[in-house]
Amino acid sequence: MLRRRRTWTAIISAVLAIVLAGCGSGAGAPTQSAADDHLTIYNSYKVASLDPNESGTNWLFDWGIAENLLQVDESGEIQPWLAEKVERATDTTWNITLRSGLTFQNGTKLDAAAAAKALNRQVTGSKASQVYMDAKSVFTATGDLTLTLTTPQPNAMVPAALASRDNAFQIYDVSVVEAADGDSTKIAGKGAFTGPYAITSWTPENLEMTRYDGYWAGTPAMAAVTVKVVADEQARIAGVQSGQADLAFYPSPDAKLSLDGRTDAYFLQSELALQALLVDMNLTAAPFDDAAVRTAFLMSVDYAQLAEKVANGVFDTATGLYPASMSYAVANQKTDVEQAKTVLAAAGWTEGSDGIRTKNGTKLTVRFVTQAQGPETLALASAMQAQVKEAGFDLQINNAEDSAKVKADMSAWDSSIGLNGSLSGTADPIQPFLSRWTTGGSANAQGLSNAKVDAIGAKLQTTFDEGERDTLLKEAQNIIVTENAYVFAATYKRFLVVASPAWKDYTVSNVRAHLRWNTAP
Amino acid sequence: MTVSEAVRTVRGARGGAPARTVRGPLRRGLRTPLGRIGLGIVVVLAVVLVASPFLGLPDPAAQNLDAKLAPPSVEHWLGADHLGRDVLARTIEATIRSSLAACLVLVGSLTISILVGVLAATGGRRLDTVLMRIVDVVLAVPGLILALAIVGLLGPGFDHLLIALIVSSWAGNARLARAYALAIVHRPYVQAARLAGVGRWRILLTHIAGGVVPQMLVVATLDLGGVIVRLAGLSFLGLGPMPPAAELGAMLGESRAYLTNAPWLFAVPTIAIVALTLSANLIGEAVSDAARNAGES
């Protein structure tokens, strides 16, 4: 009898829980308003460290903490920032002039000597920096506000390097960072950077920041900012709807549908970003060690459908590695399922009764890795699964919490999708080119090694002439996509944000400058 | 008189032998009001599942992005999901998958429980101590946490999820199986079999395990609902089958983004989970009550 009563109690409780959960997620006034001068952001990516020498600190730029000598604007143009001027004196010498009156958040003056110290520490110690610049490059202070960069060989990437968000050449107080000796908690609260917001406390999952009143461009609009890692997309959005957060980054494009017409949260998007969602393939093992299979895979994806139907028009249709607006873009990605079938058949892959092709008893299975932090990757992969099945591929999705960890084991994956831009945040195509597609590149997870691509990469590094650079990039795209189908773009991306009613006019940056000094509701 | 006849004679004379089948309690349980409600739900679900091939439903994995989030209509009786897949077709596939998986978990878990319980009861004090301490250790970790840890170790995937649920749920029932086995070991018919020269393993498997199994099956019917819910819960967290496979918890997880503009995506799998769990619980409870009333549990 008692057990029966318990059962009914459990059933009634479950029904009530469901009803209450449904009510909780419905439209309505936020239950708790954030303070007017306190911005709370929910994000999906951790800030792994505060030492720019280490990886995972590129978020310091995004959250208005660290700055560079140069910065890229929303149109992709590189603009002066902490540096007033960067000029090429000779092919191997660059003259840099800092703004006057700059200080670190701890009040220490940022002069040429301090900047040179930070930049030299990066050049010699940061792998991200060394993609841009040889470790033998040297920054030398030549005056209070002037410094010189000397590179061992001509380097056309210097402006992009100095504007790079990828924790390559951020400016910081070296004495603070070195005193911390690798313990980021000791960097927090020490005002080691120059941005509008200074870190008061840090864990990889939570950043607390306060306004830096001495900021050079003006008084920052917010008194304090919290950036909290909330891994689940729906929890981030619910945080905004409930008033616990003001902005939620990295929603999926489908959030546009679910928030349409609501007044408790708004779906915002940036202009077309400089980055694409790339699909790379493991070239070291079957099935993608076969160029025919790669070509067929590329041709069996419906790019227009991904952008327009799956991403609800939030993303743009990919036609090649680079958006068409780039002078060097080559439109060499085309959907042609029939041709894909022909290519596979010619390569010996025969169609089975279930539509999946086999060769020598092996199914054409593709273990496809998506990023759990980037929910749009799973949505795109799910659609691609049906698309490529038409040609005979069996796409098996692995929605990984840590896709890099999965891909570190070359026997565990065949293909993946991720925000692996063909352009860096500075609209620079050369750094991603070198790191992703040249032999031994720091982000070359797929094992791509092609002598012609390597040669073009080496030449791009030293080519200052834009016309010549465009020709080289076009030639490279023909090798990478048309001839070998090593990698392709699934879609061109926009950055997406869910904002609270107070922040509905927030402008989403397409270059990840998410928190500027004048960012305000 | 053969050995088995002798055993039967002793059992008949002294009584106390456990139920040899679960049929009696099941029959009696299904005649109770609770049992009838549970059975009715099962029958309705079974009819839908059996009839589904004749309903002309699309392939559960077939996408039609033009029908993205389409509401219930003639084309899609229960609407379409975010990839334009038919919700009814996916719910049917998911219900079959969840039901079979829950049964598989129960079979796997019960097999380990009975094996460990019977061995502990009959294998001597030392083996009993070792096995029961292992049970204590497993029971010390909450089942759901243990399942999460195992899936974390093996990686997401339906097969891994089933392994995790089996490994995390056998220990409690092993203790019960041991208790049932201990009660049987000293029964007269077992002694008679032993005196009649029946082999140790045969006694173990037929007389002891054979007596434990029906009682554990009654317990299993009570566990079925819980297994279905745990399965759905872990799939909801993304630890279950990967797309495009349909699973009730995973469908619920996918529906969260569309709660307000496509509530059918949330409602349909929820109703299926509630129906499955409710029927399993009602039948389990009715059978358990019937067995208890008959003095057989």
Residue with token string 């899609």: B76
A372 and A255 in one domain? no
pLDDT of residue B294: 67
A222 and A305 in one domain? no
Q: Which domain holds residue B128?
A: 83-293
For residue A119, which amino acid is it? L
Would B32 be classed as within a structural domain? no
Would B142 be classed as within a structural domain? yes
Would A218 be classed as within a structural domain? yes
Mean pLDDT of A55-68: 89
**Whose CA is closest to A169, among A112, A128, A135, A197?**
A128
Report the distance separating Cα A370 and Cα A403, nearest Å. Answer: 7
Contact list, A254 vs chain B (CB under 8 Å):
82, 257-258
Would A95 be classed as within a structural domain? yes
A301 and A218 in one domain? no
pLDDT of residue A174: 97
In the structure, what pLDDT confidence band is assigned to residue A35 with cuts at 50, 70 and 90?
low
Would A7 be classed as within a structural domain? no
**E-state strands within chain B:** none
The domain boundary, picked from A160, A175, A190, lies at A175
**Whose CA is closest to A446, among A454, A455, A438, A458?**
A438
Would B112 be classed as within a structural domain? yes
Q: Does A203 touch chain B (CB under 8 A)?
A: no
A188 and A160 in one domain? no
A266 and A278 in one domain? no
Q: List, for residues A3-23, the tens digit of each pLDDT value.
A: 555 555 555 555 554 444 444
A438 and A315 in one domain? yes
**Whose CA is closest to A281, among A479, A487, A444, A492?**
A487
pLDDT, chain A, mean: 90
pLDDT of residue A128: 84
Would B101 be classed as within a structural domain? yes
In the structure, what pLDDT confidence band is assigned to residue A75 with cuts at 50, 70 and 90?
confident
Strand-pair partners of A397: A368
Examine the pLDDT at A28 and tell me if it is beyond 90. no
Mean pLDDT of A486-510: 94
pLDDT of residue B186: 84
Q: Which of A35-49, A81-95, A468-482, B67-81 has the lowest mean pLDDT?
A: A35-49
DSSP A253: T
Q: Does B141 touch chain A (CB under 8 A)?
A: no
Examine the pLDDT at A27 and tell me if it is beyond 70. no
pLDDT of residue A360: 94
Q: Does A356 touch chain B (CB under 8 A)?
A: no
Quick one: which H or E segment has residue A489?
strand A487-499
Would B40 be classed as within a structural domain? no
Both tokens of residue B45?
Answer: 């679900």
A258 and A283 in one domain? no
Examine the pLDDT at A437 and tell me if it is beyond 50. yes
Contact list, A372 vs chain B (CB under 8 Å):
238
Q: Which of A28-32, A183-187, A437-441 has the lowest mean pLDDT?
A: A28-32
Report the distance separating Cα A86 and Cα A106, nearest Å. Answer: 26
Examine the pLDDT at B10 and tell me if it is beyond 50. no
Q: Is A386's CB within 8 Å of B68's CB?
A: no
Mean pLDDT of B155-179: 92
In the structure, what pLDDT confidence band is assigned to residue A30 with cuts at 50, 70 and 90?
very low
Q: Does B245 touch chain A (CB under 8 A)?
A: no
Residues 6+ apart with CB under 8 A from A55: A48, A49, A127, A128, A167
Would B156 be classed as within a structural domain? yes
pLDDT of residue B5: 46
Q: Which of A81-95, A236-250, A378-392, A399-413 has the lowest mean pLDDT?
A: A399-413
Would A185 be classed as within a structural domain? yes
Report the distance separating Cα B282 and Cα B26, nearest Å. Answer: 12
Q: Check: pTM over 0.80? Answer yes or no.
A: no
Would A112 be classed as within a structural domain? yes
A419 and A282 in one domain? yes
Gyration radius of chain B's alpha carbons? 23
Picking from A230, A234, A252, A254 by the largest number of B CB atoms within 10 A of its own CB, the best residue to mutate is A254
Q: Is A379's CB within 8 Å of B270's CB?
A: no
A358 and A385 in one domain? yes
Q: Are strands A365-371 and A415-418 parallel, antiparallel or unpaired?
A: parallel
Gyration radius of chain A's alpha carbons? 25
pLDDT of residue A9: 54
Would B103 be classed as within a structural domain? yes
Examine the pLDDT at A472 and tell me if it is beyond 80. yes
Q: Give B52 to chain A, closest Cα distance, Å.
A: 20
Count of structural domains within chain B: 1
CATH number, domain containing residue B157 = 1.10.3720.10
Q: Are strands A70-72 and A78-80 parallel, antiparallel or unpaired?
A: antiparallel
Q: List, for residues B195-252, the tens digit of each pLDDT value.
A: 888 888 888 888 898 889 988 988 888 889 999 999 999 999 888 888 889 999 999 9
Would A52 be classed as within a structural domain? no
Q: Is A397's CB within 8 Å of B61's CB?
A: no
Residue with token string 């060394």: A130
Question: What is the DSSP annotation of A329-353?
Answer: --------HHHHHHHHHHTT-EE-T
Count of structural domains within chain A: 3
CB B78, CB B70: distance < 8 Å:
no
**Whose CA is closest to A474, among A460, A487, A486?**
A460
In the structure, what pLDDT confidence band is assigned to residue A176 with cuts at 50, 70 and 90?
very high
A426 and A329 in one domain? yes
Q: Is B261's CB within 8 Å of A255's CB?
A: no
Mean pLDDT of A142-146: 97
**Number of neighbours of residue B136 by Cβ within 10 angstroms:** 11
pLDDT of residue A29: 40
A408 and A388 in one domain? yes
Q: Is B260's CB within 8 Å of A27's CB?
A: yes
pLDDT, chain B, mean: 86
pLDDT of residue B221: 83
Q: Is A399's CB within 8 Å of B278's CB?
A: no
What sign for the dihedral angle of Cα B283, B289, B294, B297?
positive
> Of A207-216, A488-497, B37-46, which has the strongest mean pLDDT?
A207-216
Would A14 be classed as within a structural domain? no
A469 and A348 in one domain? yes
The domain boundary, picked from A119, A148, A175, lies at A175
**Whose CA is closest to A282, among A369, A398, A389?**
A369
Q: Is the ipTM of this complex over 0.95?
A: no
CATH number, domain containing residue A213 = 3.40.190.10
Q: How many CB pairs under 8 A join A and B?
A: 74
Q: Is A258's CB within 8 Å of B274's CB?
A: no
Q: Is B259's CB within 8 Å of A398's CB?
A: no
**Torsions phi, psi for B9 (to 5 deg):** -60, -50
Contact list, A498 vs chain B (CB under 8 Å):
none
Q: List, for residues B241-287, the tens digit of each pLDDT value.
A: 888 899 999 999 989 888 888 999 999 999 999 999 999 999 888 88
Mean pLDDT of B188-198: 87
Examine the pLDDT at B2 and tell me if it is beyond 60. no
The domain boundary, picked from A125, A148, A175, lies at A175
Q: Is B65's CB within 8 Å of A383's CB?
A: yes
Q: List, for residues A270-304, the tens digit of each pLDDT value.
A: 998 877 899 999 999 999 999 999 999 999 999 99
Q: Which domain holds residue A89?
A: 66-175
Q: Does A4 touch chain B (CB under 8 A)?
A: yes
Would B37 be classed as within a structural domain? no
Q: List, for residues B13-52, the tens digit of each pLDDT value.
A: 334 444 456 667 777 778 888 888 888 998 998 898 888 8
